[in-house]
Amino acid sequence: MSTHIKILGQQDIQDFDIARELSGEDRKKFFYIPIWAREILENLKTPVNKVGFVLQLGYFKATNKFFSLKSFNFKDVDFIVGKLQISLSSIDLSSYSSSSANRHQEIILNNWG
C-alpha cells in the first residue's frame, strides 16, 4: 500500500501562516481576558505590549498557534484597543518587539497549557 503526501501550495502556506479574520462573536470569545492574564496585563508597561499580549493570547486560543506581527488583523487590534481603553493613535505595532512577542508567547504557553 502506498502513501501519498500532499504538499501545500504557496497560497495554502500563506493562508496557514496568517491569522484569520475573526467575526464579532469570535472576537468577544477569543479576546476574553482570563484572570491570570489580567494580572500580567497590569504589569506590562506600554500600550503596544498590552495590545500585543492580548492579540497573541486571542489568536492562540482560536488556533493553538502563534502568528507573526505582520498577520495581526486591524479589526482585531481596534477591538482590543477599545476593550483595554487605549488610544488607537498610541499603538504602533512595529514597536512590538520580537523579544516581547516571544516572552508573551512563553507566558501564554505556561498559563494556557
Find out whether 55 and 104 touch, Cβ atoms under 8 Å: no
pLDDT over threshold 80, residue 15: no
Question: Residue ranges per domain, the chain?
Answer: 29-112
In angstroms, how far is CA 110 from the centroid of its own chain?
A: 16
| pLDDT for position 103 | 95
pLDDT over threshold 60, residue 12: no
Q: How many CA atoms lie within 13 A of 26 on its CB side?
A: 14
Find out whether 26 and 62 touch, Cβ atoms under 8 Å: yes
Question: Residue 64 — left, alpha, or beta (φ > 0 → left; ψ -120 to 50 → alpha)?
Answer: left
| pLDDT for position 71 | 77
pTM of the model: 0.82
Give pairs for 40-43: CB < 8 Å, separation 24+: 40/107, 41/84
pLDDT over threshold 80, residue 14: no
**Per-residue b or e along 59-68, where b marks 16 or more CB atoms closer than 10 Å to that residue's CB:** bbbbeeebbe
Question: Which range (2-11, 22-31, 93-102) has the least confidence?
Answer: 2-11
Q: For 77-105, how does the pLDDT look when each residue is reduced to its tens digit (9 = 90+)?
A: 999 999 999 999 889 888 999 999 999 99
